Structure 1
């Protein structure tokens, strides 16, 4: 597909930026920087989109951004840690980083922290929605993009009531249009749920939510950026750093030294080790997730057309053309990417139970990947204490990497251009969140 050249906004004496990482966050950053007039080099030890971007949940959840660090975790903790069917599992290791991250995560499971994180994520997600629209229009990427909305389904009155409280919080913060619906109303929106209707009491419907194939978008971005002069250094693991005082001069990639005026670390779960090498600390740790991709029948009413999340199982279902992406689970297990048959069967069972007519007997292609998560769920965008002054980070997006990538890239580019990185309304959102959290205690 022919990709039109972008209008060059490059100022005289344009600065060179090296973006380390070619997942969706790094590629979106490279696209934004190139659009804003920077000369960009992208570095990765793998091909573009081969890490957490490859088999993610495919949902673009601009409105449903509740962080994993939530007060409800405390009541759920025994079941989450002990049940073999838990959507979350902890595999303790002799790893100080794992223990430190876990303790910070538990410390963040408070109403005030969760409310502030929700406000921050909502503002970033809304910015990301607009930024991704520009990206898709500019690149004309063929990535099975749909804007068919999303249903989050709840299996108990208590969980549905908690979801309505979260909806009220997000509504007060100016979040996107959402509605609490009865089971009958949910079935009218998504008839394919009829086969599992007895499992649910109701749902939250967000009409404006979207879905897309992140791996295909990464492929499209790679091609578009190459056509526009962005340099890619692939298959090259990062090595030594060359510094002078408070500045990073070059990074070693394979046998090459890549020089630049600015560097961006968008390295996914590898960002913590890189930060240590650069003299800084970022609280990012892997959360292992799984997905299945199934071919589904074309007949209406069998497979969902709307994105669906089963809140109890914490499993998401996203339609990608004639495929269905089934994704979920979270394991705090270090950097282990092995695909465990027990977890694959857990997702298969969820698919058969929620959409029995579409998924029974269907061959599924399994995948496992590592989501780079901060304890609060809020990504790190910009400079970090202790790191060289010209090194910026764009990392720690957790399960919302696809959703937040374009907005994060826009914010990072503004920082490099010396433009204030706090979007309009963010201060008011944070104040509202703090007030709501205090009133709920």
Structure 2
């Protein structure tokens, strides 16, 4: 039986491990922190292909410069000398054109269309977790705020996805926590959501039940080239060396640390998101999206998880309370019947953002070593499909058209 080591126990890494087991591989998953220890735990848990779109779009030229000088803006970055960050931002902004948006959207559409089916495959295959259907409620304070969102939905449909959208007569019909400030709202069908931490834990448990090993506290510091036996290896911080027939690097926002020596030159920048949960007077039943305020909200274990912010900092920097306070201030304006003082699970997680908005899925320049990452905000929704098609490539040597545009050596 062939053995694969997967470095990273988030949704992408664990889904890859699960699909490799489907193909008869023995898998060992290594992670420095633990299952769902990175961006997979505290995100909004949206399985929303209609919103799985390029992060860089033409509106950034208006919004980005203003955000630099607004401490409460959803887009945040430190004002410091950081050549790597500024190089990333230059390339990210270069993608903020309609032509680049359409090119990236065309590349994302096939995997977007495969995303929900891949979750069904996990659940039918023994992963003891479920996803929940929408609708998603999209709210705005005034008509003009909706124009950008509607343009994005039109673009998604134009590229071949379905995104059933209907205007609501009363924004509070499905989302009673929205205040009277929200005067315009839509319902978006065809999407799903999960409680991300528990779901990823369920995938991990399914991998274990099949005989896979998951080692936490195992920090990989180097991926060694294959020796005479053509088997690559990983070197742990402890000095331990582990060999396998194939190795998959799926370390999220830390991807470049291991992948750059493997020939992967695309920059991966940590785009950090914040979240917390609060109680609501009326139980939340549906996800809520407030695009103008960049807030994504989801029912979570009897509470309401509020997530927001795109903060470009180092992945290991601490949580900055100012970012939580900013989300609280914004939520206080547009929500009612929520206790924003009773916050639990305050969290920051680092999402792996590439300049061109495309994931990195496939072979590296080193034989029998692969990478899986760079999904930006979409690692949870695209993780199972990414793992499925990467496992196919590892097993057969053939790149499925769904991931053809995500070559890590591009």
TM > 0.5 fold call: yes
Aligned mates of 1:309, 1:90 — CA distance in 2: 23
- 1:419 maps to what in 2? 398
Counterpart pick for 2:12 among 25, 28, 40: 25
Counterpart pick for 1:89 among 70, 76, 81: 76
1:349 partnered with 2:333: no
1:98–1:334 contact (8 Å) kept in structure 2: no
Counterpart pick for 1:169 among 131, 155, 169: 155
1:221 partnered with 2:203: yes
The alignment's TM-score, normalised by the length of structure 1, stands at 0.85
Q: CA deviation at 1:83?
A: 1.0
Aligned mates of 1:140, 1:411 — CA distance in 2: 18
SS in 1 for 2:4: strand
Q: CA deviation at 1:51?
A: 1.1
1:316 partnered with 2:296: yes
2:288–2:296 contact (8 Å) kept in structure 1: yes
Aligned mates of 1:235, 1:360 — CA distance in 2: 34
1:337–1:369 contact (8 Å) kept in structure 2: no
Aligned mates of 2:11, 2:117 — CA distance in 1: 16
Aligned mates of 1:191, 1:308 — CA distance in 2: 7
SS in 1 for 2:39: coil
Deviations 1:332-355 (A, max 9, x none): 122343122221122223344333
1:273 partnered with 2:257: yes
Q: CA deviation at 1:50?
A: 1.0
2:31–2:218 contact (8 Å) kept in structure 1: yes
- Pair 1:208–1:337, CA change in 2 (3 A): farther
- Pair 1:371–1:248, CA change in 2 (3 A): farther
Counterpart pick for 2:46 among 59, 66, 81: 59
Counterpart pick for 1:117 among 104, 127, 130: 104
SS in 2 for 1:331: strand
1:389 partnered with 2:367: yes
Give the stretch that moved more between structures: 324-333 or 350-359.
Answer: 350-359
* Structure 1 spans left out of the alignment, 5+ residues: 1-13, 428-441
SS in 2 for 1:419: coil
SS in 1 for 2:319: coil
Paired residues for 1:5-404 under 5 Å: 14-142=1-129, 145-182=131-168, 184=169, 186-188=171-173, 190-193=174-177, 195-203=178-186, 205-244=187-226, 249-253=232-236, 254-297=238-281, 302-384=282-364, 387-404=365-382
2:134–2:188 contact (8 Å) kept in structure 1: no
1:60–1:209 contact (8 Å) kept in structure 2: yes
- Pair 1:95–1:273, CA change in 2 (3 A): farther
Q: CA deviation at 1:185?
A: 5.1
* Structure 2 spans left out of the alignment, 5+ residues: 406-410
Give the stretch that moved more between structures: 54-63 or 402-411.
Answer: 54-63
- Pair 1:167–1:363, CA change in 2 (3 A): closer
- 2:408 maps to what in 1? none
Aligned mates of 2:402, 2:330 — CA distance in 1: 39
Deviations 1:363-391 (A, max 9, x none): 3331111111111221111124xx30211
- Pair 1:303–1:346, CA change in 2 (3 A): farther
Aligned mates of 1:341, 1:225 — CA distance in 2: 36
2:140–2:146 contact (8 Å) kept in structure 1: yes
1:248–1:388 contact (8 Å) kept in structure 2: no
SS in 1 for 2:132: coil
1:92–1:333 contact (8 Å) kept in structure 2: no
Deviations 1:75-109 (A, max 9, x none): 11222211111100121443332122111101111
Q: CA deviation at 1:231?
A: 1.8
The alignment's TM-score, normalised by the length of structure 2, stands at 0.91
SS in 2 for 1:120: helix
